[in-house]
A and B are shown apart, each in its own frame.
Chain A
């Protein structure tokens, strides 16, 4: 494991305070994110409104809800991906280790290094397996001991044994499930402490899905994982805590809201809110 000090020493200076190593902290007890009254608008359309929740470290947090409830919008706020959407405006506060992600001093590139993202469809670059993983560290000036870094990332993504003999082959020669794990390796290579996953297994077959879910279980020992999923059973299987978003009328306008956020077991056995129960039992949405 590369230590934080080594990593930061070879990168451009960051504008976020260094992250304390989390090994000494009990799982989930400290909040990686503290979200307060978060609202996002795309032009005149309000995507989410008034979302407040804490997201713990070293656990999997699932975001579920019907289409259009703002799940993806929400996790894209967590690493400032919405900055890239023209007309997007974010209100409220999104604190990352106590620091405002949208503060004027914060460098969005550094935010995205710390808070990696894996998308629904595997999107490797049309380059070799090795280059896909090495790309991030090279761009960020973390290229010292690059081979070790690439191996470590592939190993953590449970892909090393399958690709170690063909690192120079095109990433596009991999299966869908392997490509998705490559994308996870790519995110891990730049030493993040949060991994956001937006429907990471929805384009995969059941076996590849199981591998991704097993991987999440492994990775949560060291990372906070936030996953958006349409598959409620997947949320029930992998998440420690689950947030249910829905679409409600807020000030006369349809908008995504956070309805209930609790231990996953509670959400799937005895949800507190009727709307959550109607959704998880398949009676709505």
Chain B
């Protein structure tokens, strides 16, 4: 038994779970800031990203060292490679939270549309659920759980399409239209967070089965397209 390798792998997985917890905090805070027009909280989300980035770099360095020193193979190699990708997906999610926070600051003076805000709240909740499912499936090597992310993603995609439709109906003055365009980006960010959660599910599937495959693919007729 290679004790050092196992300890390094355990630490890596714990760090990824920790990074996921940070992303969940960031996501909840950014949606709250948007909904309540809390610009202070939006600033906190932007500053908080440094913590995610620090952990991201620490995990990347850990993987670098582990590959160089332990030369993992088989299941261990797949775990390290999956972790490398998951680390990046989580960091991207945090970046989307920052984008939402910045947009929140830009539209601070505009009275929000209640229906839209309710829609974002729902998208945020679903995105949180997806992140939890993605991280739990990864920890438990749960292929079914990982695959279920595709269905969960469909709810966010639908909500995203509703937002776009709603914004198109807004009309109104220039300020309102500008607000609407920014809200489309917010919606898109939440939708992309869902996509990254599905990507984490794909990494779990790779870890379990050893096969690289996408759960969905826009260019193939026999697979659903979630990039919308």
**Residues of A that sit less than 8 Å from B by CB:** 232-233, 236, 268-271, 276-277, 280-283
Contacts and interface: CB of A to CB of B under 8 A. Distances in A.
Contacts of B75: 277, 281
Interface residues of B, number: 12
Interface in B75-98: 75-78
B8 to A, nearest CB: 12
Contact of A233 (B2, B5, B71): B71
A176 to B, nearest CB: 25
A266 to B, nearest CB: 9
B78 A270 contact: yes
A268 B77 CA distance: 9
B78 A282 contact: no
B108 interface: no
B73 A269 contact: yes
A269 B2 contact: no
A275 to B, nearest CB: 12
A281 B71 contact: no
A280 B210 CA distance: 16
B112 interface: no
Contacts of B145: none
Contacts of B74: 268-271, 276-277, 280-281
A268 B72 CA distance: 9
Interface of B: 1-2, 5, 71-78, 210
A282 B72 CA distance: 9
Given A269-B210, A270-B74, 4 more contacts: A268-B77, A270-B78, A277-B74, A281-B5
Given A233-B71, A269-B210, A270-B210, A283 B2 contact: yes
Contacts of B1: 282-283
Nearest to B210: A270
Contacts of A233: 71
Nearest to A277: B74
Contacts of B78: 269-270
A102 B88 CA distance: 58
Nearest to A284: B1
B18 to A, nearest CB: 25
Contacts of A280: 73-74
B13 to A, nearest CB: 16
Nearest to A271: B74
Contact of B76 (A232, A276, A281): A281
Contacts of B76: 281
B24 to A, nearest CB: 32
Contacts of B5: 281-282
A232 B5 CA distance: 16
Contacts of A271: 74
Given A269-B210, A270-B210, A282 B77 contact: no
Contacts of A232: 73
A64 to B, nearest CB: 11
B87 to A, nearest CB: 20
A271 B74 CA distance: 7
Nearest to A283: B1
Contacts of A270: 74, 78, 210
